[in-house]
Amino acid sequence: MGCNGLLWIGRVLILMLLVHEVVGWGKDGHYTVCKIAEGYLSEDAVAAVKELLPPSAEGELAAVCSWADDIKWYYKWHWTSPLHYVDTPDFKCNYNYCRDCHDSDGHNNSCVTGAIFNYTSQLYSAYQGSNPQSNYNLTEALMFLAHYIGDVHQPLHVGFLGDLGGNSITVRWYRRKTNLHHVWDTNIIDSAVKTFYGSDLAIMIQAIQRNITDSWSNNISSWESCGNNRTVCPNLYASESVRLACLYAYRNATPGSTLEDEYFLSRLPIVEKRLAQGGIRLAAVLNRIFSTEVKIAQA
Ligand SMILES: *[C@@H]1O[C@H](CO)[C@@H](O)[C@H](O)[C@H]1NC(C)=O
Ligand SMILES: *[C@@H]1O[C@H](CO)[C@@H](O)[C@H](O)[C@H]1NC(C)=O
Ligand SMILES: *[C@@H]1O[C@H](CO)[C@@H](O)[C@H](O)[C@H]1NC(C)=O
Ligand SMILES: *[C@@H]1O[C@H](CO)[C@@H](O)[C@H](O)[C@H]1NC(C)=O
Ligand SMILES: *[C@@H]1O[C@H](CO)[C@@H](O)[C@H](O)[C@H]1NC(C)=O
Ligand SMILES: *[C@@H]1O[C@H](CO)[C@@H](O)[C@H](O)[C@H]1NC(C)=O
Ligand SMILES: [Zn+2]
C-alpha cells in the first residue's frame, strides 16, 4: 500500500490505549462469522485450512476465530492490539487508508485493514506465488485473517478516534451499565440469542444462513467480489462499517443514554447482516488464496 500526502496522526494517552477495544466482536460474533465462512469454502480451501489449523482446532476454523483476541494481552503479542480496529476522524463518517491506517504512535499500516492486507499477502504469496517457502507462520496468518475480517465488519471497529470507537461512550443496555462499543461487540448478539433463538447460538447462525440462501441470495456475488480481481478489499469493508456506525451505532446513543427495545430491534438486522457479510467474504478471500486453478492455468 503506497500512501502519499501528510498523515493525520492522533496521539492518545497510553491509558486510553490500554482500555481501547476490550474485545472485538465478542466470541459469539467471531464464531458466527467463521461458522458461516466454513459453509462456503471451496474444496481446495477446506483442504488448505485443515492443514494450517493448529491441532487444538480439531479441524474447525470457527474454533480459532477468537485466538487473536485471546493472545493480545500477552506481552509478546502486545503489538497486535492496534490491528483489531481503525479509528477515523470524528463525525466525518468516512474512512481513508492513508489518512487513518496507523496506530497511536504513528506507525503506518498498523490497523485492521493494514493487517488484512498483510496476512492475505503472506498466505497468497505462499500459495499462489512461485516460491511456496514462506518466512511467516501461516497458521498464525490464517487465524489473524479470519479474526480481522470479522472485526472490520463490526461498524464500531471503524468508529471515531475521539470516543475510541464507542468505548468511551457509557450507556445502559436495558438495566446494565456498559459502553457503546461493547453493545455492538456483544450485547446485541447476546440479547438476540436469548430473546429470539432459545439461548442457542447455533439457531441464530442457522437463521442467518437461511437468509443468505433466501433474502440475500442475489446479493452474495456482489459481497464476494472485490473488483479488478483483487484478492481482498478491506478498504471497502471499512468504508461500509463507518457509514453504518454513523447511521445506526452512534445515532440515538449519546453518552448516558439507555438503549432498549427500540434500539435493539432496529440494530439487530444490521448486526446480522454484517455477520453474514463477514462470513461470506472470509470464505471468498480464502477460496481465492487457496485456489489451485490459477496455478494449473499457468502451468
Ligand atoms: C505514513 O504515511 C503518511 C501518509 O501517507 C506519510 O506521509 C508518512 O511519511 C508515513 N510515515 C512513515 C513513518 O513512513
Ligand atoms: C505483518 O505480519 C507480520 C507477521 O505476523 C508482523 O510481524 C507485522 O508486524 C505485520 N504487519 C502488519 C501491518 O500487520
Ligand atoms: C505457528 O504458530 C502457532 C500459533 O502461534 C504455534 O503454535 C506454532 O508452534 C507455530 N509454528 C511454528 C513452526 O513456529
Ligand atoms: C441486495 O441487492 C439489491 C439489488 O442490487 C439492493 O437493492 C439491495 O439493497 C441489496 N440488499 C442487501 C440486503 O444488501
Ligand atoms: C478477472 O478474472 C476473470 C476470471 O478469472 C478473467 O476472465 C478476467 O480476465 C480477469 N480480469 C482482469 C482485469 O484481470
Ligand atoms: C433476514 O433478512 C430480512 C430481510 O432483509 C431481515 O429483516 C431479517 O432481520 C434477517 N434475519 C436474519 C436472522 O438475518
Ligand atoms: Zn478483535
DSSP line for 41-72: --HHHHHHHHHHS-GGGTT-GGGGTTHHHHHT
Average pLDDT over residues 98-106: 97
Average pLDDT over residues 173-179: 98
Distances (CA, A) of 20 to 12, 25, 182: 10, 13, 11
Average pLDDT over residues 2-9: 42
221's grid cell: 456475488
Give yes or no for residue 162 having a pLDDT over 90. yes
Residues with CB under 5 A from ligand 7 (ion): 24, 69, 84, 151
- 67 CA to centre of ligand 3 in angstroms: 12
- 229 CA to centre of ligand 5 in angstroms: 6
Which residue's C-alpha comes closest to atom 13 of ligand 5? 228
- 249 CA to centre of ligand 6 in angstroms: 18
pLDDT of the residue at 131: 77
Q: Which residue has the higher pLDDT, 15 or 267?
A: 267
**Which tens digits make up the pLDDT trace of 104-115?**
999 999 999 999
**Which tens digits make up the pLDDT trace of 200-227?**
999 999 999 999 999 999 999 999 999 8
Instruction: Compute how many other C-beta atoms are within 10 angstroms of the C-beta atom of residue 296.
Output: 8
Select from 236, 186, 192, 171 the least CA-distant residue to 69: 186
Average pLDDT over residues 68-89: 96
Q: Which one of 205, 273, 274, 277 would you pick to mutate in the ligand 6 pocket, going by the greatest count of ligand atoms within 8 A of its CB? A: 273
pLDDT of the residue at 12: 31
- 161 CA to centre of ligand 2 in angstroms: 23
Give yes or no for residue 9 having a pLDDT over 80. no
Measure the CA–CA gap between 16 and 35, rounded to whole angstroms.
Answer: 33
Mean pLDDT rounded to a whole number for the chain: 92
Give yes or no for residue 29 having a pLDDT over 90. yes
Full-model pTM: 0.91
Select from 170, 152, 174 the least CA-distant residue to 265: 174
Give the nearest ligand 3 atom to 71 CA: 5
Give yes or no for residue 145 having a pLDDT over 80. yes
pLDDT of the residue at 129: 87
Domain ranges of the chain: 17-298
What's the chain's length in residues? 299
pLDDT of the residue at 164: 98
Average pLDDT over residues 227-241: 96
Select from 128, 121, 57, 122 the least CA-distant residue to 290: 128
pLDDT of the residue at 2: 56
Antiparallel, parallel or unpaired: β 258-259 and 170-173: parallel
Give yes or no for residue 297 having a pLDDT over 80. no
Alpha carbons within 13 angstroms on the beta-carbon side of residue 112 total 34
Residues β-bridged to residue 259: 173
pLDDT of the residue at 35: 98
- Supply the CATH classification number for the domain 17-298: 1.10.575.10
pLDDT of the residue at 130: 80
